[in-house]
Amino acid sequence: MAILGTLLKKGIKLRENLQQEYSSPLELQKNELKELMILASHTEFGKFYDFPKILPKFKKGGHAFYNAYKSAVPIHDYNKIYKDWWQLSLKGAKDIAWPGKIKYFALSSGTSESASKHIPVTKEMTKAIQKTSIRQIISLSKYDLPPRLFESGILMIGGSTHLNKKGNYFEGDLTGIQAARLPFWFQHFYKPGKKIAKGRNWDAKLDEIVKKAKDWDIGIVVGVPAWIQILIEKIIVYYKVSNIHEIWPNLLVYVHGGVSIDPYRKGLEKLMSRPIYFIETYLASEGFIAYQALPQHKSMKLVLNNGIFYEFVPFDEKNFFPSGDIRPNAEALLVDDVEEGKEYALLLSTCAGAWRYLLGDVIKFTSTEESEIIITGRTKHFLSLCGEHLSVDNMNKAIELVSNEQNIEIKEFTVAGIPYQSLFAHQWYVGTDSKVDAELLRDRIDFHLKELNDDYAVERSAALKEIFVEVLPLHKFYDWMESKGKAGGQNKFPRVMKNAQLDEWKNFIAR
């Protein structure tokens, strides 16, 4: 493990070479877009939108470059960019939205649609993700960590590295694509290793990891909270120990992403004998967007100079339809025009051939000076039947507060907006194996949401007439995920359900 230790010991020097502390966010982003457009100027996309005509605008001051870019290139959601461009790459055509042929496509584990999305993963994007991963490792030098951690392994729980060959390309989970192409120096301390990582059967893979767990010295764990918790619980039961530190005494860091850690923190902490660091990361199928760089900050630092150009669309009725779809004339802002405390949907232009692409996530800036953000939800995972504007962030916080109050574990939940009498109601489905009073749970969730969200409080005395809570055993949530072929890896249960998905869920739990 000497390589990891050397990286961390030299962290300050390496940060000077890798990070973004010496240029303004706007300059970093301007240079990023310029490089992306130069590289893509001879692609079909670049020729269609006349990138060579836009590029001279970068020599001018202010936002001239950006005004030219957004005037020429429309906003794309997944359906639009796939239909117009990416599907051609999927068929083997080269130089479509990015130079060359696309050999790898990540199957998105998004929860809002049932069909998988094919997201291009280029060589440039793989290198960018690896580079940002190194930055995150280097950021550990800012934490108070003992030397023994740097001689421990890193357990990464993700999708299978055994990719599906489909004609001209390979497809699979992004974590599987990245794990299959790890740099040589990282493979020495990567667990569970190539053989186990290739497994496609999630339950079998977990069982293999459990059997090997005692042979490994794990210091860092990486993965989605629900599946990490399931794994640790299995290890504790298998070895008949009281906590995971009896198996992995050097475990000190958990790097998580995909969903909020708040509903899981209490349950995870019960599986430990001492506190560990929870470090958030923001890795989407479209790119590595941000990571938690400082131990005392709950927010994450945007990566501004590594293959991604960002635009920020204020998340409001002016820019989005009630369905969560973006309006064609939506207003987009650059990084120097955003405000702290306001919610924005992200548009990405990337070194994988995404251009003004609506990611679907909604973020909030906690510091514009440091370009630090938190994720508050998704454009289609907000509930606003009647103006309550309830975000996933609100839901997660309310569940965390109720769990702490009642000393219970709520690992999963989902919420749906439903018609009620002549107006509306919210239907909660709460997954827990703790003994709970459903009525008390309902009252306390409602109470905390009123405290957290003024719009919700107003509508509870107006059009949002009722809140219903149905308590279900936890396995119902995991069984439903398995029935959808989404057990394990980076998959997560949807926090908001609508329309056909809600009908399927209701039929499933009624069995």
**What pLDDT digit, counting tens, does each position of 11-43 carry?**
444 554 555 556 799 999 999 999 999 999 999
Residue 378 pLDDT greater than 60, yes or no: yes
> What's residue 6's pLDDT?
54
Name residue 275's amino acid. Answer: P
Q: Which of 198, 199, 201, 209 is nearest to 238 (CA)?
A: 209
> What's residue 215's pLDDT?
94
219-228, 315-324, 386-395, 402-411, range with greatest mean pLDDT: 402-411
Confidence bin at 444 (pLDDT 50/70/90)? very high
Per-residue CA distances from 478 to 60, 200, 283, 290, 493 (Å): 54, 17, 23, 28, 8
Confidence bin at 201 (pLDDT 50/70/90)? confident
Higher pLDDT, 136 or 277: 277
Kindly state the average pLDDT of the residues 245-270.
87
Tell me the CATH class for 392-509: alpha beta
Kindly state the average pLDDT of the residues 187-197.
74
> What's residue 133's pLDDT?
84
Confidence bin at 182 (pLDDT 50/70/90)? low
Residue 473 pLDDT greater than 70, yes or no: yes
8 Å CB contact between 237 and 373? no
> Which of the residue ranges 80-94, 302-316, 366-380, 478-492 would you say has the lowest mean pLDDT?
478-492
pLDDT in tens, 420-437: 987 889 999 999 999 999
Name residue 319's amino acid. Answer: N
> Which of the residue ranges 101-105, 289-293, 331-335, 488-492 would you say has the lowest mean pLDDT?
488-492
2: its two tokens: 């000497």
8 Å CB contact between 342 and 30? no
CA gap 168, 448 in Å, rounded: 52
Kindly state the average pLDDT of the residues 433-445.
94
Across the chain, mean pLDDT equals 87
N-terminal to C-terminal alpha carbon distance within the chain? 50
> What's residue 152's pLDDT?
86
8 Å CB contact between 345 and 320? yes
pLDDT in tens, 306-361: 999 999 999 998 999 877 889 989 999 999 999 999 999 999 999 999 999 999 89
Task: Mention every residue, 6+ apart, whose C-beta is less than 8 A from residue 166.
Answer: none
> What's residue 12's pLDDT?
42
Confidence bin at 1 (pLDDT 50/70/90)? very low
Q: Sort 371 into a burial class: Cβ within 10 Å, 0-12 / 13-18 / 19+.
A: buried
Residue 117 pLDDT greater than 80, yes or no: yes
Of the chain, the percentage scoring pLDDT greater than 90 comes to 56
Same fold, 1-380 and 392-509: no
Residue 96 pLDDT greater than 70, yes or no: yes
> What's residue 443's pLDDT?
96
Residue 470 pLDDT greater than 90, yes or no: yes
The domain limits of the chain are 1-380, 392-509
Please count the other Cβ atoms lying within 10 Å of the Cβ belonging to residue 201. Answer: 12
Residue 198 pLDDT greater than 80, yes or no: no
Q: Kindly report each contact of residues 466-470 with a partner whose C-beta sits within 8 Å and lies 24 or more positions away, as own/partner.
A: 466/420, 466/425, 466/426, 467/425, 467/426, 467/428, 467/442, 468/425, 468/426, 468/427, 468/428, 468/442, 469/428, 469/430, 469/438, 469/441, 469/442, 469/445, 470/427, 470/428, 470/429, 470/430, 470/438
Residue 107 pLDDT greater than 50, yes or no: yes
Kindly state the average pLDDT of the residues 143-161.
81
8 Å CB contact between 292 and 367? no
Residue 3 pLDDT greater than 60, yes or no: no
CA gap 352, 126 in Å, rounded: 9
> What's residue 384's pLDDT?
77
The hierarchical CATH code for the domain 1-380 is 3.40.50.12780
